[in-house]
């Protein structure tokens, strides 16, 4: 008689994360709007400095600096709020995923947060965290799957992550170009161009992130809310990773 798998704590149960996912999606949209506002501000600063040689208008320079600083603060606050809500949502859907499927995730649950804040590895660890959540949430993945790392990642997650990393890298390059010293006209123009390209990439990443949030929520709502330890072993031979 096969031994029964150890039962996880009885206080664990599934929860719908539709509301938290909607909140994350709204804040991601706000971050996108602020990204374009920041790009506009960078072009505005460039235009003001370009005409300064003719106008010598210090007031316009001060106004441009004030607009740029204010939008920078609002954009930072929006990004922080979106990051907090998105990670809370990610933590909760990871909780559900651990109950849907026994399969071992690449990282412990603490890396749901840690993968975003640890330097260098934050360029790929968050993608792996999401890959495993998607795999465990998919109704096609058997509940007694031994490991999730062998299940191929989806094109949606790949597209979302690549566009996010591109936008992040370009934004960092743009910021460094004006923090190295007193901003020159050429540096402001480079900063504006980089900000605009970053806004395009970030917008694509935001759209894909909203789709991804909805996809994971839909997968978890479609899958029967039965914990893996209550599932019966398969009768059709050894486990094979599901095709994606």
What is the reported pTM? Answer: 0.85
**What gap in Å lies between CA 95 and CA 71, rounded to an integer?**
36
CA atoms within 13 A on the CB side of 42: 28
**What gap in Å lies between CA 44 and CA 154, rounded to an integer?**
40
Query: What are the residue ranges in the chain where pLDDT is below 70?
Result: 1-12, 174-183, 233-244
Find, among 211, 90, 93, the residue nearest to 156 by Cα: 211
CA atoms within 13 A on the CB side of 99: 19
Whole-number pLDDT of residue 174: 64
Q: In angstroms, what CA-CA distances link 209 with 155, 164, 214?
A: 12, 9, 9
Whole-number pLDDT of residue 188: 81
Whole-number pLDDT of residue 4: 45
Q: Nearest 10 degrees: CA dihedral of 124, 126, 128, 130?
A: -150
Whole-number pLDDT of residue 11: 53
Whole-number pLDDT of residue 240: 53
Whole-number pLDDT of residue 176: 60
Q: What radius of gyration do the chain's Cα atoms show?
A: 23
């Amino acid at each position: 008689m096969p031994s029964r798998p150890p039962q996880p704590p009885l206080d664990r149960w599934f929860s719908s994360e539709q509301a938290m996912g909607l909140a994350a999606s709204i804040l991601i949209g706000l971050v996108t709007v602020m990204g374009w506002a920041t790009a506009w501000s960078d072009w505005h600063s460039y235009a003001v400095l370009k005409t300064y040689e003719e106008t010598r208008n210090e007031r316009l320079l001060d106004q441009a600096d004030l607009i740029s600083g204010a939008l920078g603060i609002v954009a930072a606050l929006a990004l922080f709020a979106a990051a907090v809500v998105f990670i809370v949502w990610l933590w909760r859907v990871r909780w559900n995923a651990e109950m849907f499927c026994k399969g071992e995730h690449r990282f412990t649950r603490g890396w749901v947060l840690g993968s975003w804040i640890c330097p260098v590895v934050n360029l790929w660890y968050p993608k792996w965290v999401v890959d495993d959540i998607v795999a465990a949430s998919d109704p096609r993945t058997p509940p007694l799957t031994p490991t999730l790392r062998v299940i191929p990642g989806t094109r949606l997650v790949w597209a979302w992550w690549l566009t996010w990393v591109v936008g992040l890298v370009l934004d960092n390059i743009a910021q460094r170009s004006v923090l190295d010293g007193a901003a020159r006209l050429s540096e402001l123009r480079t900063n504006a161009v980089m900000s605009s390209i970053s806004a395009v990439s970030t917008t694509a990443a935001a759209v894909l992130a909203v789709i991804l949030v909805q996809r994971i929520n839909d997968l978890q709502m479609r899958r029967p809310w039965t914990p893996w330890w209550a599932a019966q072993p398969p009768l059709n031979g050894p486990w094979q990773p599901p095709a994606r």
